[in-house]
Amino acid sequence: MGPLAQHRESGQEFLTSPHPDSPAPAPDVVVGLGNDIVADDGVGIAVARHLETEIGTRPDVDVIALPWAGFALLDVLKGRRRAAIIDCLATGERRPGTIVHIDETDLAGSVRLNSFHDISYPTAMALGREMGWEMPDFIAIWGIEAETPDIFSETLSPPVAAAVEKVASEVIEYLSTPLDWSET
């Protein structure tokens, strides 16, 4: 597991890659969402931990494991150029372990990005932009369909665990693609 840092508002610890202080723009960010003691709900955190071992020393990328989205995600995304977000899906409509590329406007089944415990992802992004904060222009979201999203366990189900490395590879490829500013 990579180094831990504290989220400044909440005091909660999260996994993050070290990077030297640098002028804007901030490094790209990978955010793995979830609860790693609730079986497959922890898949985003599992991907973040895997990526920490793969790219944790890159100064141009922060890797963060975050147990919630909403306001906390808003703070993590503020000032970034590019973001990759990974979350558990609990739709029951796909086979467990299915990887889905989620559209920012259709977050059906996302456990954290559509949470009723906090503001939704679209609301957080709109709020950040309304406040005049620089928010990422390039965001990719991966969802991994859960088999066991609601039981207490520190272990992912086999089909969901099998998706971790594939999603991590896709995230690395996404981060390696040059940004096309004509799309913004």
Residue-range domain boundaries for the chain: 4-177
In whole angstroms, give the CA distance from residue 88 to residue 168: 14
- Average model confidence (pLDDT) for the chain? 81
Q: Are 139 and 101 in contact (CB under 8 A)?
A: no
User: Comparing 29 with 90, which gets the higher pLDDT?
Assistant: 29
Q: Give yes or no for a contact between 2 and 15, defined as CB atoms under 8 angstroms apart.
A: yes
Bridge partners (DSSP) of residue 33 are 66
Q: 184: how many CB neighbours lie within 10 A of its CB?
A: 9
Looking at residue 3, what is its pLDDT? 43
What CATH code would you report for 4-177?
3.40.50.1450
End-to-end CA distance of the chain: 35
Q: Which range has the top average pLDDT, 3-17, 118-132, 158-172?
A: 158-172
Which residues are CB-contacts of 112 (< 8 A; sequence separation ≥ 6)?
A: 33, 34, 44, 68, 69, 87, 88
- The first and second tokens of residue 70, run together, are 């909403």
Confidence of residue 18 (pLDDT cuts 50, 70, 90): very low
Q: Which range (34-38, 143-147, 178-182) has the least confidence?
A: 178-182
- What's this model's pTM, rounded to 2 decimal places? 0.81
pLDDT digits (tens, 9 = 90+) for 57-105: 889 999 999 887 778 888 899 999 999 999 988 888 899 999 999 877 6
Q: What is the pLDDT of residues 125-137, one digit of tens each?
A: 888 889 999 999 8
Percent of the chain having pLDDT more than 90? 46
